Structure 1
Amino acid sequence: MNRRKTRTVQIGNVAIGGEQPIAIQSMCNTDTRNVDQTVNQIAALTEAGCDIIRVAVPDEAAAQALPKIKARISIPLVADIHFDYRLALKAIEGGVDKLRINPGNIGGRDKVHEVVCAAKAHGIPIRIGVNGGSLEKALLEKYGGPTAAGMVESAERHMAYLLDDNFSDIVVSLKSSDPLMTIDAYRMFSEKYDFPVHLGVTEAGVLSSAAVKSSVAMGYLLLNGIGDTIRVSVTGDPITEVETAREILKSAGRFDKKEQGITVVSCPTCGRTQINLIGIAEEMNRRLKNVHKNLKVAVMGCVVNGPGEGRAADIGVAGGNGKGVLFKKGQIFRTVREDEIVDAMMEEIEKM
């Protein structure tokens, strides 16, 4: 299905919306005031495939660190601001590429007006981030608790602050910890507005839980043409957020970048497996993580189904008794010892 047509928003050197590739975002879990630590994490995230990075700005010291961080990174920097409009102003002065705020919680309309005017003057877009777990009290009472409709109305209330000031450089997110509520909120919003949306399931938990919840919600939305940027929220290393987001985009057929990266498929193992398939698959994934070739690699447990099941793969291996047979498009071309499989596979992939 075609993507929903949204207006284009420029975030530093990355454009989102319209016909632009879907951007992958993450958020640092470092102390923003620690510039070196934050820059190092951003460098690792950039290498992993992160397109846009967000940092928390809880106080003035964090705001003062922003220009130092910005000067040492290559991807757009987003400042996450709550409660204090002065931090938003300092972030803008510090050269950030986007703000993430809820206009209703950073002060009255006069304070929001100051932030909007500064953002407009510097060409900085604003993301309105609605969270199902922190809806306004009036909306919780109106809808009897957090609901998709309440989330959309919250976004509309926040958007009004910006639109009243003739500011439309807006991105919206409507995140819930409930994947189904998340889906409903984005669908309802996307039926009414053409602002770009940033997809995510909030408070999704550790990697196993986050991957499942995010795949359900984002997969459905992406397959229905909704989504301009995505973040997989993980309680843990943010590198896994980027890696999981890449897999979701590839699986949904939405990874439309010049260098898609390698897709590794592997079987779940069974009683026929006579090699350390799990270890081999893990090592292959690790070594292929930053190989920028558009290839499908299969790591299969046995020769009964391996070459056949891996026929769609550009290259693969099927295990035997202490050995592995290598194949391309299902055709066997080489046999190696078990301890040679990973190196042999990497050698062949380098040639491709």
Structure 2
Amino acid sequence: MMEGTRDSLESDGSGNEQPPVPTGPTGRTAAWKALGGRYALLPLRLFLGVTFSYAGLDKLADRHYLAGRGDLQSFYSQTLAAKPHSPVGALLEPALHAPTFFALLIAFGELAVGLGTLFGLWGRLAALGGGLLSLTLFLTVSYNVTPFYLGNDLPYLMGWTAMLLAGTPYLSVDGYLAKRAGRDRARGLSEDAVRRRTVVDGSIAAVALGGAGLLLGSLTATFIRKKATPSAAGTGAPPTATGGSKVSVAAADVPVGGSATVTDPATGDAVYIVQPKAGQYAGLSAICTHAGCTVDPPKGGQLSCPCHGSRFDAATGAVLTGPAVRPLPRYAVTKDGDRLDLGPQQS
């Protein structure tokens, strides 16, 4: 009886026995359903793999990402802006002390996770890494997004959870190694020998893929990334603080349609001094009112948040596009000779 039951099962070559698929119209329907079930997570796997590979390379190619505290779009500045609003803000302190190390760790981590997922190599380990990255971003960048479904890191975390449960058994290096292990068992190799061969070959593939990713990331950072331009935080002489807490900047450093960056001495937040029209000056907080990210300098009459896409009017700070609902806080700016003095927050 047990032998007959055994013979009624078929093997897919990976050691997992599958029931035979009946023939005929009903059998073809069942076959399509089985095929759909087998590859149901393939679109999610491709999306996550491509997205995280692109995200890692995009960071390495971004001239602002490693620019340091002088650039409001850098990893350091974004982490500093997220720290007061994060439930794990205290844990971000090491990243502020060694921003270059942690910035590169995240960028190359995303690239490694993406490539591992795309090629299906150690798929569950890659999914675990992707889940940890998404959880970190959720707790720092998008934790305070309201309503929660507007933040994109939580859906990524759920996607990685599905990949962690399912692994990458099909159209993958993991699947190839599993099928070969099944053939090795059928040839009579011992379980220890099969496991050792799988681990060694998987490690060789991981080293090769990791080396390719490291080379690709290094080439991207070397030949594509450009140095940050001074316009990201104003040009010319840096802003100065005089008279205790008085902050000023040279008027020549604030072109029409442009900005210079100063710091609110009361809060430590970055502030853009802008000149939307000739002779018209204003100060706008650089901290997005949605989730606390640092908005980009004005361009085309707008201030854009790189985290969730909110846009603000560069003259008034009014919300042009959500998810933000509150305008950017405004500051008084007065001209004193050839300098612009930052006044108190008005709204």
Same fold (TM over 0.5): no
Question: Structure 2 length as normaliser, TM-score?
Answer: 0.24
Structure with higher Rg: it is: 2
